[in-house]
A and B are shown apart, each in its own frame.
Chain A
Amino acid sequence: MSCNHLLKVFVLAGLGVIVLSNCAGVRRLDRGTNIPAVEADNVERLVLLPPVDATIREGKKVDFDSAARKAARRYCKKLKLTLIEAENGPDRDAADVDALRDAAPEWVRSLGPDGERWMLLLVADDVTSKLVFGSTGNAEISAYLLDRDSGSIAWCAKGVGRVGMGGLAGMMFKGLMASDALNAAIGNALTQMPHRVPRDRTGISCSL
């Protein structure tokens, strides 16, 4: 047997060992993942409550309502969810995290149309833009998924958006920074939203 043949045998044997060990690994993994499935409810239809602008701004306000609605429509279209836009929602004081956490289940059930379960509430906490050598924008929003069945918060998250552009060109675009940051914050919050909410998570106290 020549050296070449020996080399081929070694290479093939090595490959065989790698393949077999990987198969063994897969089998072990299969056994290891034999965990009872978590009971979860799919979020297939989503009610968008009117977005709440809770920012403290004396100057020109950014159109949060429009930005939030557009982002929610895009998000639902992408995930093939049915979006229903509700007309009535909480006001600024009721959209506070403590108020929502302490809200009576009956009040939560009174929001959104009958027959729907999951309601999305987006609250703008702060939006600013700043002129430096360039310009920057910061935005911060809170997102809540409310469960009408249990009358509580099922999920909540923060969305933070930071944008900026340096130099003279950046200074020219200061007017766009606040809305850009806001869109980034909304996108950030929505991407964190679960598509399936485990049953035991309904009724959690939101940690925001």
Chain B
Amino acid sequence: MAHRQGRKKKAAIFLVMVAGSLGGAAQARFHRVEAMPDARPIPVSESPILVLPVDARFEQLATADPVASSGAVPPDFERRIRERVESRLRDLGASVVSLPMEKDSASPGACLPLMSEHPGLRVLRLRVLVKVGSRGFWNPYNGEIASANNSARFKGVLSECDGGTTAWSNEAILRALPKDRPQEFDLALDALLGLTAHTEDER
């Protein structure tokens, strides 16, 4: 009799744990790609847009010391971002002014010489901060567990070339290294432009 009661008790504890786990699973899920909650799509009008060279930085998460980009991002990272953004802007019907510009020409006044040719020109500045953190792990013997904390944070600001007035800005985050998650890296760029909502993840 006592043996049966013990089994019932164990079963009850197990059921409570399963119910609690399901409750945990039902809570807000992990979003690998997210944008600002009040983000609106990038405004596309008649006036052309010049996408300036991407300002990309790579640092250690814990110390903010600079790190090599090779382990964190795919080759031609900055060029790939710029091409993807230009392509998405064209899909939206924007007139994109594409010029081969060097990184040091990404100053605020870089667009001024182009104003006579493209009246009403606006510039899109893109900034990426890639933080290299620690890997996730799970120790089945003692239950120790942690998730990776790498991230790439994107910021885009669209402003008037002549006045410098900000017409639009948005931020997005990819909670992984772009090299490890190429598809979600593209999604993060779409989220930055306000084109998609977040993606849900996954374990």
> Using a CB–CB distance below 8 Å, which chain A residues touch chain B?
56-60, 126, 128-136, 138, 140, 158, 160, 162-175, 207-208
B134 partner residues in chain A, CB cutoff 8 A: 162
B138 partner residues in chain A, CB cutoff 8 A: 132-134, 166
Given A166-B138, A169-B17, A171-B21, answer yes or no on A130-B30 (Cβ-Cβ < 8 Å).
yes
Given A56-B173, A164-B147, A166-B143, answer yes or no on A172-B28 (Cβ-Cβ < 8 Å).
no
User: Which 6 pairs show the lowest CB-CB distances between chains A and B?
Assistant: A172-B20, A166-B143, A171-B21, A174-B24, A164-B145, A130-B30
10 pairs, A vs B, C-beta closer than 8 Å = A128-B175, A134-B143, A138-B147, A158-B61, A160-B133, A164-B144, A165-B143, A169-B17, A172-B23, A175-B24
Interface string of B140-174 (1 = CB under 8 A from A): 10011111010101000000000000000001110
A172, B149: Cβ atoms under 8 Å?
no
Query: Interface size on B (CB < 8 Å)?
Result: 44
Given A60-B28, A160-B62, answer yes or no on A136-B35 (Cβ-Cβ < 8 Å).
no
Q: B154: shortest Cβ distance to chain A, in Å?
A: 9
B116 partner residues in chain A, CB cutoff 8 A: none
Given A58-B37, A158-B61, answer yes or no on A132-B147 (Cβ-Cβ < 8 Å).
yes
B17, A172: Cβ atoms under 8 Å?
yes
Q: Which residue of A lies closest to B150 (CB)?
A: A138
Main secondary structure of the interface of B (DSSP, over half): loop
B64, A208: Cβ atoms under 8 Å?
yes
A130, B147: Cβ atoms under 8 Å?
yes
Q: Which residue of B lies closest to A178 (CB)?
A: B28
A134 partner residues in chain B, CB cutoff 8 A: 138, 143, 145
- B25 at the A interface (CB under 8 A): yes
Q: Which residue of B lies closest to A166 (CB)?
A: B143
A56 to B136, CA, bound (A): 21
A166 to B24, CA, bound (A): 13
A207, B145: Cβ atoms under 8 Å?
no
A131, B17: Cβ atoms under 8 Å?
no
A133 partner residues in chain B, CB cutoff 8 A: 138, 145, 203
A59 partner residues in chain B, CB cutoff 8 A: 28, 31
- B184 at the A interface (CB under 8 A): no
B27, A136: Cβ atoms under 8 Å?
no
A57 to B33, CA, bound (A): 9
- B18 at the A interface (CB under 8 A): yes
B31, A58: Cβ atoms under 8 Å?
yes
A130 partner residues in chain B, CB cutoff 8 A: 30, 147, 201
B203 partner residues in chain A, CB cutoff 8 A: 131-133
- B29 at the A interface (CB under 8 A): yes
B190 partner residues in chain A, CB cutoff 8 A: none
A168 to B173, CA, bound (A): 29
A56, B35: Cβ atoms under 8 Å?
yes
Given A56-B34, A140-B149, A168-B17, answer yes or no on A175-B61 (Cβ-Cβ < 8 Å).
no
A60 partner residues in chain B, CB cutoff 8 A: 28
Q: B177: shortest Cβ distance to chain A, in Å?
A: 14
Q: A128: shortest Cβ distance to chain B, in Å?
A: 6
Q: B158: shortest Cβ distance to chain A, in Å?
A: 15
A131, B30: Cβ atoms under 8 Å?
yes
A60 to B28, CA, bound (A): 7
B151 partner residues in chain A, CB cutoff 8 A: 126, 140
Q: Per a CB cutoff under 8 Å, which of B28, B140, B149, B171 touches A56? A: B171
A166, B31: Cβ atoms under 8 Å?
no
List residues of B (4-55) whose CB comes within 8 Å of A's CBs.
Answer: 17-18, 20-21, 23-25, 27-31, 34-37
A170 partner residues in chain B, CB cutoff 8 A: 143, 145
B24, A160: Cβ atoms under 8 Å?
no
A130 to B132, CA, bound (A): 19
